[in-house]
Amino acid sequence: MALFALRHMDSDRDITLGELFRGFLKIGLLGFGGVAPIARHVIVEDRAWLTEKEYATVLGMGKVLPGANVVNAAVMIGDRFRGRLGALACVLGVMLMPLVVLMAVATVYARYADSPGVNAALAGAGAAVAGMVMGTGLKMARNLRPSRTALLIGALAIVLIGVLSLPLVPVVVALAPLALLLTWLAGRRKAAR
Amino acid sequence: MTDSLLWQLARTFGAVSMIAIGGANAVVPAIRHEVVDVLRWMDDATFMHLFAIAQAAPGPNVLVASLIGWHMAGFAGLMVATLAMVAPPCLLAWALGRWMTGVSGTAGFRLAQDALVPLAVGLIIASGLDMARASYAGLSTVAITAGAAAWIFFTRINPIWPLAAAAVAGWLLR
């Protein structure tokens, strides 16, 4: 198997194409308003396919690449466990139900779009998704037991994007080399001691 | 006519897909410019309407392309637009994943991982803050946001439940 081994890939369990497909089917179906919380729930907690750090790495790569995060993660995770077919199974899994639901929603939406009840429910769900995304990030931060350097890098990202609302691409272009430099310096300081 | 429309869908979303860093939300203005101003496929109101539907449906936010494809050319349009939006980044992710296999044990990879993982986690929290601001509509939304964050942070139970509860609460509190 051609896998991108992150840390302990030698302990790969046999994960079938069907399991991969069904896992990502669940992510796609339940990922209302953004799939990040449910994706982490399925991949790290429910199916335990990846550790927290592996998942954060895959997600980090997915964020830097163009395209939807979770689709990029699906490609990398599927390829890791089952090669090209696995990647295909994961992408089909994550896209299938949303496309079906999308066509259904588009058909009935016109009738309910002006209903105050539907809009209030969507507003409530939107507020919940925001909290779920924050909770997911905070939980990942806790489980990764960050060093002081890592905390500083994360805090910079939160302030620049989350508080000051600067545009994503320039911030990432500026922060990524800075993060590498800070981490490298911290490693050297530790080695010197 | 239909052929050239499908080709236009493929070209438009294929190009947009490669600059959609951080997902489709980053390129919503670019998509709007292309389909409303340049191609004149629809007016602003129709675009916003389609965007709202894509937001309401589950799944990754690249679905806005699928919906525009469906709106323009039915099922074939949906398939072409979805493929154009998803396939190029997938190939890139696949190649990058393979490349990471080769370098994963090295000191350089560990350094990159240690540096970029906290950046990615910070960006997740930041996007949550951003979404919280966008969905803010008084104290009840703050309570819902905080409650959902606590649910995720303290439990391992399926996150669909706080979402459903919040939708019901929003409906009851209207």
| ipTM of predicted assembly, 2 dp | 0.80
Tell me if B36 is assigned to some domain: yes
Give contacts of A101 with chain B, Cβ < 8 Å. 57-59
Give contacts of B159 with chain A, Cβ < 8 Å. 30, 37-38, 41, 132
**B39: its two tokens:** 């191609």
Of B118, B149, B169, the CB nearest to A132: B149
Please say whether the dihedral angle defined by the alpha carbons of residues B155, B160, B162 and B163, taken in this order, is positive or negative.
Answer: positive
Chain A nearest CA to B139, separation (Å): 11
Tell me if B121 is assigned to some domain: no
3-state secondary structure of A41: helix
Tell me if B158 is assigned to some domain: no
Mean pLDDT of chain B: 87
CA distance B50 to A109: 10
Confidence of residue B95 (pLDDT cuts 50, 70, 90): very high
| Selected residue of B48, B114, B140 to mutate for chain A interface (largest A Cβ count, 10 A) | B114
| Selected residue of B17, B127, B172 to mutate for chain A interface (largest A Cβ count, 10 A) | B127
Contact B60, B23 (CB under 8 A): yes
Which pLDDT score, from 0 to 100, does residue A7 have? 41
Contact A109 B23 (CB under 8 A): no
Tell me if B170 is assigned to some domain: no
pLDDT tens column, A53-112: 889 888 888 777 888 888 999 999 999 999 999 999 999 999 998 899 888 888 887 777
Domain count, chain B: 1
Contact A129 B168 (CB under 8 A): no
Which pLDDT score, from 0 to 100, does residue A30 have? 85
Of B58, B89, B149, the CB nearest to A71: B89
Confidence of residue B149 (pLDDT cuts 50, 70, 90): very high
Q: Is the pLDDT of residue B25 over 80?
A: no
Tell me if B90 is assigned to some domain: yes
Tallying the residues shown for chain A, one arrives at 193
Which pLDDT score, from 0 to 100, does residue B48 have? 80
Q: Which residues contact A11 (CB under 8 A, 6 or more apart)?
A: none
Which pLDDT score, from 0 to 100, does residue B22 have? 66
CA distance A154 to B104: 23
- Flag whether residue A96 sits within 8 Å of chain B, measured between CB atoms: no
- Flag whether residue A92 sits within 8 Å of chain B, measured between CB atoms: no
Which H/E stretch holds residue A151? Answer: helix A148-157
Which H/E stretch holds residue A126? Answer: helix A116-144
**What integer is the mean pLDDT of B116-145?**
89
pLDDT tens column, B36-62: 989 999 998 888 878 878 877 777 778
Instruction: From B48, B170, B131, select the one nearest A116 (Cα to Cα).
Output: B170
Which residues on neighbouring strands pair with residue B58, listed in sequence order? A32
- Flag whether residue A39 sits within 8 Å of chain B, measured between CB atoms: no
Of B55, B67, B148, the CB nearest to A132: B148
Position B26, amino acid: A
CA distance A168 to B112: 19
CA distances from A154 to A141, B1, B128 (A): 9, 50, 14
Tell me if B173 is assigned to some domain: no
Give contacts of A184 with chain B, Cβ < 8 Å. 111, 115
Model's pTM, two decimal places?
0.80
Contact B60 A98 (CB under 8 A): yes
Q: Which residues contact B42 (CB under 8 A, 6 or more apart)?
A: B35, B36, B50, B71
Q: Is the pLDDT of residue B172 over 50?
A: yes
Of A5, A59, A66, the CB nearest to B17: A66
Q: Cα B41 vs. chain centroid, distance in angstroms?
A: 22
**B141: its two tokens:** 């939304």
- Flag whether residue A53 sits within 8 Å of chain B, measured between CB atoms: yes
pLDDT tens column, B55-77: 777 777 788 899 999 999 999 99
| Selected residue of A75, A85, A171, A172 to mutate for chain B interface (largest B Cβ count, 10 A) | A75
Give contacts of B113 with chain A, Cβ < 8 Å. 6, 53, 57
* Residue-range definition of the domain harbouring residue B69: 3-104
Burial class (CB in 10 A: 0-12, 13-18, 19+), A55: buried
Q: Which residues contact B19 (CB under 8 A, 6 or more apart)?
A: A66, B26, B27, B30
Tell me if B91 is assigned to some domain: yes
What SS3 string covers chain B?
CHHHHHHHHHHHHHHHHCCCECCHHHHHHHHHHHHHHHCCCCCHHHHHHHHHHHHHCECCCCHHHHHHHHHHHHHHHHHHHHHHHHHHHHHHHHHHHHHHHHHCCCHHHHHHHHHHHHHHHHHHHHHHHHHHHHHCCCHHHHHHHHHHHHHHHHCCCCCHHHHHHHHHHHHHCC
Confidence of residue A118 (pLDDT cuts 50, 70, 90): confident
Which pLDDT score, from 0 to 100, does residue A8 have? 42
Tell me if B82 is assigned to some domain: yes
pLDDT tens column, A11-26: 456 899 999 999 999 9
